[in-house]
Amino acid sequence: MLIACQRPVAAAVLGAVLFASGPAAAGPPDPLPLYGHEMVFSVWRKGDKIGQHRVLFAHQDGALVVRSILDLAVKILGITVYRYDYRAQETWRNGKLVALASTVDDNGTSSKVKAAEAQGKLDVTGPDGSAVINGAILPSTHWDAQVIHADRVLNTLDGKLDHIALVPKGVEGVATNDGERQAMHYLWTGDVKAESWYDAAGHWLKLRFLGKDGTPIEYICMRCLAAAP
């Protein structure tokens, strides 16, 4: 059960606004001080919990490795009528994405995306073919709040380069494992349609998007802040 712990609103709003308007850094911050080694969201649809999304962080051989694991199952009268499983692994070196591999099982239909750095560029292969991405790029895995400054992301579901803009919609209270926190609500526009919430410190706290049938899917934070020292 989440215990509400309201912070002073004026300070939280100011912090969120400053964060939202600040310059983008060269690479992602170290996520371990923000999240610890794992963050967990429960996934909800029409008032029912349908799955869980986990993100795991580790430093390995001088690189940052980020694994995303999503398992969804929609049931009617106890019978699973739809299943969706997603796995992704990102490898970062010196603040730059140098490799990515993802797999999707969409109710029995499988697809893969692979990306690897070569000669300073990112070679990407997805279900619809191959492409080369020049310059720094963030994947569409949401954990890095610098996405609020981005105008494009690498879609880890299909390997496409999606053009985006995140529009701030105002500060809201969001329930977390550490009580309620003030976070900026962003609307994704462009090639990706979604909503996400980030606080002034850069924590990803919430996500909402529409499923294939137009039903809202919502992520609720179960563990999205590092434990207090």
pLDDT tens by residue, 36-89: 999 999 999 999 999 999 999 999 999 999 999 999 999 988 899 999 999 999
Task: Say what the pLDDT of residue 16 is.
Answer: 36
- Asked if residue 172 has pLDDT above 90, the reply is yes
* Mean pLDDT estimate for the chain: 87
Does some domain include residue 128? yes
Cα–Cα dist 7/123, whole Å: 45
Tell me the residue range of the domain where 120 lies: 9-223
Task: Say what the pLDDT of residue 228 is.
Answer: 56
Does some domain include residue 2? no
- Give the mean model confidence (pLDDT) for residues 212-216: 92
pTM: 0.86
Does some domain include residue 37? yes
Does some domain include residue 228? no
Window from 99-103, 120-124, 172-176, 225-229 with minimum mean pLDDT: 225-229
Does some domain include residue 130? yes
Task: Say what the pLDDT of residue 220 is.
Answer: 97
By percentage, how much of the chain surpasses pLDDT 70?
87
Does some domain include residue 47? yes
Does some domain include residue 3? no
Does some domain include residue 39? yes
Number of domains within the chain = 1
